[in-house]
Amino acid sequence: MNTFKVPTRDEVSSANQVLFDTLKKGVGFVPNLYATYAYSENALQNYLALSSAKTSLKAKEKEVVNLAVSQVNECSYCLAAHTAIGKMNGFTDSQILELRAGKASFDTKLNALAELSKNITENRGGADAAVVERFFNAGWTKENLVDTIVLVGDKTISNYLHKTTDVPVDFPSVSLSL
């Protein structure tokens, strides 16, 4: 049922071949979704620059956003990938399920981040004032707010790419249901 075949290294531009080599060196393989970006001459490089750009959010905090956004957008690929990355960042299975639901009963500050990420995604950017207030009351800053919104956009791009192309998930699969 996949409408897009995952391109191989030989099927992409020389610039994207270099990026494939870099990904293979750093990650151990080229994730199918990243390979799909390489159908475009520029999208893979642009996306990698966005997703690896400096941010006020720590790696573990980024995974909070990634999991909440991917759940709202029902992206099986990103949920699988970020469940694996979340575990590498120290989250347990039960914590990951909570984060996907936009909650973190185990950490007040992460709870506010998860709630905001879910709320922004559900409301297409129009976050509820009470949610934003709880975010700030939990100790987050305006810089964190802006960086969270950028990360919501970053993850939404990948969610949409997968949902449109339906390339095979090459991470351990997870259920879309909570």
* HSE value, Cβ hemisphere, 13 Å, CA-based, for 116: 32
Could you tell me the two tokens for 164? 């449109």
Residue 3 is predicted with a pLDDT of 73
Position 1 pLDDT exceeds 60: no
Residue 2, pLDDT above cutoff 80: no
CATH number for the domain that contains residue 84: 1.20.1290.10
Non-local (6+) Cβ contacts of 104 within 8 A are 64, 95, 98, 110, 111, 113, 114
Q: Are 37 and 96 found together in one domain?
A: no
Mean pLDDT within 21-37: 97
- DSSP codes of every residue in 121-170: HHTTT---HHHHHHHHHTT--HHHHHHHHHHHHHHHHHHHHHHHH-PPP-
Question: Does any domain span residue 176?
Answer: no
The answer to the question of residue 125 being in a domain is: yes
Mean pLDDT of 122-137: 98
Identify the domain containing residue 39 by its residue range.
9-51
pLDDT at 159: 98
Residue 171 lies in a domain: no
In a domain, 76, yes or no: yes
Residue 98 lies in a domain: yes
- Which tens digit of pLDDT belongs to each residue from 78-114? 999 999 999 999 999 999 999 999 999 999 999 999 9
Name the helix (H) or strand (E) containing 98.
Answer: helix 93-100
